[in-house]
Amino acid sequence: MTTAPANAAPRRWQDGVLLAALILLALIWMLPVIAVISTSVRSQGDLLGGGIFSLPKKIHWENFAKAWVTGDFSTYFKNSLFVIFTKVPLGILIAALASYPLAKMKFPGNGWIFLFFLVGLAVPVQVALQPLVVMMRELGIANTLFALMPPYVAFGLPLQILVLRGFFRLVPTELIEAARVDGASEFTIFWRIMVPLSVPALAALAIIDALATWNEFLLALVLISSKDQRTVPLGLMQFQGEHSSQYTLLMAGVLISIIPVLVIFLFLQRYFVTGLTAGAVKG
């Protein structure tokens, strides 16, 4: 973090001003989050009387319990977690399998197949929506969580293949050649050499993918309509529709739905940043 020009002494007061400005900006940036917390812990009467910038008369923790129960968030959490725990490992395994030959083998079509996947980075979900609805009906999985998984995997592949191919290319070719001489099959090389050596990249991708899956809205909106199959963003929209003027309850629901993402982000931030920059900047 210290590539700044190093003529430190005359810059000290300027740095102080800069730091103060940054802290002020950070406070402004956190204002919406502060507003949500401040709203969610009071009674509706306290909110309408005192406003969000007053000290709450009493902390109403029960808002969260009430939002959790009336909003049926347990169902939405269960559904979203089910999709995440199936889709994320499956998608990353498929992406890793594809990335190995793209990174380490020469065969006809290598460059073109990679380019073909890359183009997917620029394909908006909208262009597949209506046909996916028809396809899921024909496959007999319309309106179930299983309808989400194939398109989620498909739309996740381009970024994951881009990142993993980059990482796999960094694995020394001599290592692979040595394993081949020892008679290892290509799958053994993939599973015993490529995968273990790319754990940081795989972990970063898994975290980014889990968050993206938790947050995804448009595909779920179109593919899921029954109440018991809703994911968290759909459930939150439903909750908003039913309690749009009960601000304290609504913001408690919003907070419930974002706490898992914030916790994961805060604790696993290091992986997160690695994954993002690796995906964007070539290996």
Of the candidate residues 78, 86, 144, 186, the single one contacting another protein (CB under 8 A): 186
Of the candidate residues 9, 55, 58, 127, the single one contacting another protein (CB under 8 A): 127
153 scored as a contact of another protein (CB under 8 A): yes
122 scored as a contact of another protein (CB under 8 A): yes
Residues contacting 145, CB < 8 A, separation 6+: 79, 82, 83, 224, 229, 231
Q: CA distances (Å), 188 to each of 85, 101, 193, 195, in order?
A: 25, 13, 8, 10
Of the candidate residues 41, 84, 88, 162, the single one contacting another protein (CB under 8 A): 162
269 scored as a contact of another protein (CB under 8 A): yes
Of the candidate residues 65, 175, 199, 273, the single one contacting another protein (CB under 8 A): 273
68 scored as a contact of another protein (CB under 8 A): no
Selected range binding another protein among 57-65, 70-78, 118-126, 197-205, rule: CB under 8 A: 118-126
Q: CA distances (Å), 112 to each of 115, 152, 206, 250, 274, in order?
A: 5, 23, 26, 49, 27
276 scored as a contact of another protein (CB under 8 A): yes
Of the candidate residues 24, 45, 51, 61, the single one contacting another protein (CB under 8 A): 51
- CA–CA distance, 10 with 94 (Å, rounded to integer): 55
- Tokens representing 105 are 């083998």
Closest separation between CB of residue 180 and another protein, Å?
A: 5
Of the candidate residues 61, 111, 188, 228, the single one contacting another protein (CB under 8 A): 111
Total number of residues that touch another protein (CB under 8 A): 107
Of the candidate residues 9, 13, 29, 174, the single one contacting another protein (CB under 8 A): 29
- CA–CA distance, 234 with 76 (Å, rounded to integer): 8
Closest separation between CB of residue 100 and another protein, Å?
A: 5
Selected range binding another protein among 64-72, 81-89, 155-163, 198-206, rule: CB under 8 A: 155-163
73 scored as a contact of another protein (CB under 8 A): no
The 10 Å Cβ neighbour count of residue 190 is 19
237 scored as a contact of another protein (CB under 8 A): yes
Rg of the Cα atoms in the chain: 24
Of the candidate residues 56, 78, 146, 150, the single one contacting another protein (CB under 8 A): 150
Question: Over the range 43-55, which residues count as b (16 or more CB within 10 Å of their CB) and which as e?
Answer: beebbeeeebeee
Of the candidate residues 81, 129, 195, 197, the single one contacting another protein (CB under 8 A): 129
Alpha helices, H only, the chain? 12-40, 44-50, 62-70, 73-104, 110-119, 129-138, 149-170, 173-181, 186-189, 195-197, 199-215, 218-223, 232-242, 247-267, 269-280
Of the candidate residues 101, 141, 144, 146, the single one contacting another protein (CB under 8 A): 101
168 scored as a contact of another protein (CB under 8 A): no
User: Interaction with another protein in 191-230: which residues (CB under 8 A)?
Assistant: 211, 214-215, 217-218, 221-222
- CA–CA distance, 91 with 156 (Å, rounded to integer): 7
